[in-house]
Amino acid sequence: MVKNKLYPEVRALLEAIEAEGGPAIETLSPVEARQAALDGLQAVAGQPEEVGRVEDLEIPHPERPIPVRIYTPIGEGPFPCLVYFHGGGWVVCDLDTHDVACRAIARQAGAVVVAVDYRLSPEYKFPAAVDDCYAATAWVAANAARLAVDPSRIAVGGDSAGGNLSTVMCLKSRDEGGPQLALQVLVYPVTNLASFDTPSYLEFAEGYYLTRAEMEWFRGHYLARIEDAQSPYASPLLAPDLRGLPPALVITAECDPLRDEGEAYARRLAEAGVEVASTRYSGMIHPFFSLGGVLSAGRSAIQQVAAAVRACGTR
């Protein structure tokens, strides 16, 4: 396959990964895949930026305490806040795999970032991750003063599965009278687990880092039954009504199987009267946002997210 759409630095990265000859993620156990993700992402995430304070704590929850990592910038609050849900297909990744990105957003946005270590699949199936993320979002809103957070400037955001969880938080908050959110940041979000038949899935099914086979592996671990894919809290693109949701920043990558569903969700938000800024990063792959140590576009996307968080709730 001639990958002429890829930027040269992306092509070089993929060639280096191919030369290493590591196993495909769908051939690993979840435990093995988690270690591989940690090793792989930490090597290319870039250097961690200094912030004012980093605190690990646990939020009380009936099922189990929810670990969170709170990044507080230098300066005097109240600050805007981003409640961040990491990607990894609901199966892999954790607070450490996304530490560099969260630090960079906190520093560049002058915002408190609360990273949430929600329960992973397959040990905990849908909707466990949704429940944890919603509880964490509600806790941040209830504890805004303690966190030096402006309660009118709380955003949710995440990449991939975390982007899915972010927009689900907005749906759930609207539906259940939950926290008032100022922004949703959706970085190549999963929005439709019910269908993998978009043109981007067909074009980039394999050979571009994230593959269709991997997404099937993730979905199989996340959902207890395939029928769960029809739930708007698993597939927000299937939600019948997107009115009344907070403004959105949607970032997609050109050479990503998830590109089309992310952009379709942005269009549906706009049609529902939601303010949307949507950016497609040309020549990029999933998960370029987490590869800032080797991809300049990853650093640019973090800057874009930080600017949106810094401005949220000010208009």
Residue 286 annotated as catalytic: yes
Distance CA 161, CA 87 (A): 5
Catalytic residue among 173, 256, 260, 290: 256
Task: Give the orientation angle of helix 296-311 with respect to helix 99-109, to 10 degrees.
Answer: 50
Question: Is the Cα dihedral 167, 172, 173, 178 positive or negative?
Answer: negative
pTM for the model stands at 0.97
Residue 221 annotated as catalytic: no
- Which stretches in the chain have pLDDT values below 50? 1-2
Question: Is the Cα dihedral 281, 275, 308, 99 positive or negative?
Answer: negative
Question: pLDDT at position 4, please?
Answer: 78
Catalytic residue among 121, 160, 173, 200: 160
Question: pLDDT at position 75, please?
Answer: 95
Q: Are 148 and 72 in contact (CB under 8 A)?
A: yes
DSSP strand pairing (66-72 vs 53-59): antiparallel
Catalytic residue among 94, 173, 286, 290: 286
Question: pLDDT at position 315, please?
Answer: 73
Question: pLDDT at position 42, please?
Answer: 85
The amino acid present at 137, given as its one-letter code, is T
Question: Domains of the chain: which residue ranges?
Answer: 8-311
Question: pLDDT at position 151, please?
Answer: 98
Residue 231 annotated as catalytic: no
- Please give the full DSSP string across the chain, using - where no structure is assigned: ---TTS-HHHHHHHHHHHHHTPPPGGGS-HHHHHHHHHHHHHHHS-PPPP-SEEEEEEE--SSS-EEEEEEE-SS-S-EEEEEEE--STTTS--TTTTHHHHHHHHHHHT-EEEEE-PPPTTTS-TTHHHHHHHHHHHHHHHTTTTTTEEEEEEEEEEETHHHHHHHHHHHHHHHHT----SEEEEES----TT---SHHHHHTSSSSBS-HHHHHHHHHHH-SSGGGGGSTTT-GGG-S--TTPPPEEEEEETT-TTHHHHHHHHHHHHHTT--EEEEEETT--BTGGG-TTT-HHHHHHHHHHHHHHHHTT--
Question: pLDDT at position 230, please?
Answer: 98
Q: Confirm or reject CATH 3.40.50.1820 for domain 8-311, answering yes or no.
A: yes
Contacts of residue 140, defined as CB under 8 A and 6 or more positions apart, other chains included, come to 81, 83, 114, 147, 149, 154, 179
The β-bridge partners of 312 are none
Question: pLDDT at position 1, please?
Answer: 42
Give per-residue pLDDT as tens, 207-259: 999 999 999 999 999 999 999 999 999 999 999 999 999 999 999 999 999 99
